[in-house]
Amino acid sequence: MSAQNTGYRLNQVASDLHIDQFQREEFWPAAYIAGHARHNVSHYLAVSSPIDCVSHGHLGLACTVEVNAAVTAAHEAFLAWRTWPAPKRGLVIKAIAQQVAAQKHALARLIVLEAGKIETEACGEVQEWIDLCDFALGQSRQLHGLVIASERESHNLLEQWHPLGVVGVITAFNFPIAVWAWNAMLALICGNAVVWKPSEKTPLCALACVHLVSQVLQQHGAPVGLLSVVQGDATVGQALVQNPLVPLVSATGSTRMGQAIAPQVAARFGRSLLELGGNNALIVAPSADLSLALPAIVFSAVGTCGQRCTSLRRLIVHHSLIEQVCQQLCQIYSTLVIGDPRDAATLVGPLIDGIALQNMKNKIEEAILDGGVLLTGGQVRVGVPVGHYVQPAIIQMPRQTRVMMEETFAPLLFVLSYRTLDEAIALNNAVPQGLSSAIFTQDQREAAIFISALGSDCGLANVNVGTSGAEIGGAFGGEKATGGGRESGSDAWKNYMRRSTNTINYGAQLPLAQGVDFKIKTE
């Protein structure tokens, strides 16, 4: 189906969002700082959709000047925002949720156009933003500390949490709204300001989000400098990382990116919150209910065209089931509708660009040289719009080889067999990354072992649920080369605050801790 007869385009979405700048399709702002657009027509890049590679227009690129201006405006806004009672800040977040809900489908369609996701996944991403607002609203009355028993008479020992200041957020193309929202909504409810550097592949999603939130901030009398966006390549991210007024940098992307960012932030004694690469495995045990396992495998492996950090890369199947599982997966893969994500029948949209496609081809070739057997897929899909469409691939491997140690950001699934649970867990853990993992089993003992300290070493360890599609209520993140960060739910809000321990003496004496006797003459 051609792009022309599948429905909406950018100007229609822009009209729904009431953003006139998008409708003109000329030069979009390089930055949006404290409610004002900043343009740069001398340094820009062409913005195109992965759906058909047709250019939307041109995006101005920010430089260090814009980054520093955004950080300065954010710091000034933070100084005022931190004085607002947290429940009052919560009312602003509530209003943001209402505005997002009203624009949910228009925002989802913008994600479809820029990231190439199918519309139901894009709607789910916007829903994550709404859900996170609900979570943050509740959290606004639960930013609690501790009262600790003091060893000294007439003393109180307390622990409080205070906002950090400016939070720098760097996000990737695959979740152009949700991951930023995880950070921004919690950072705002905690009393911080946010400067956002989005992927240059999905800049319009960022401009739309900041435009929407800025309107809400103005309506509620909140400082508009609380949220800014700076567009550009790695040099823009570098300026944000190195700015001493940014105590926390939250970055989502490749492991290599995290390895570059973390030392720079640490060198100035800042904090980094890293959500990096995944290389996720799913174990199919002998007792697995395949009516549950197969749909979970397929969604985890091909959802978002395999371009999630939680996408399934390695399938570890008990030897007694591997022939059946491979056969059924190949049959299901043959029915997948690949094409324009604006078509409601489509399940697999395009890869983000030609680099991703070539990388997938290279990994398939390397796996075959390692003894792998290509069971299905891997071919460029024809009969779809001009873009980077590919048939999701399954490769059965004789063992876990070097090609499987790296994350392939594409719908490429490696299949291995195992005989004992210990062997399967060892395969699960034998990669540098540690984000998501799963086991399908009806054996209570196997399930308990998998999520215990003896089992998966990943931040997410699921039972009878796939590797992809986490809820916002639980902290999201992974171990090892995934970076160790935690975002979204649980107590992730503490990442955006600083801890203060307070000792209060309400007595007439000055006893010292640990019974120290230090007598001095006061006369």
State the catalytic residues. Answer: 275, 309
Nearest-angstrom CA–CA distance, 36 and 34 = 6
Beta pairing, strands 27-28 & 193-197: unpaired
- E strand or H helix that includes residue 92: helix 86-102
Q: Which of 413, 158, 157 is nearest to 301 (CA)?
A: 413
Phi, psi of 435 (to 5 degrees): -90, -75
Phi, psi of 25 (to 5 degrees): 55, 45
Judge contact between 236 and 201, C-beta under 8 A: no
Nearest-angstrom CA–CA distance, 281 and 278 = 9
Beta pairing, strands 412-418 & 393-396: parallel
Distance (Å) of CA 390 to CA 61, 245, 294, 297, 366: 31, 44, 21, 18, 18
Q: Return the residue matching tokens 């949720």.
A: 97
Nearest-angstrom CA–CA distance, 60 and 40 = 5
Judge contact between 430 and 400, C-beta under 8 A: yes
- Name the 3-class secondary structure at 454: coil
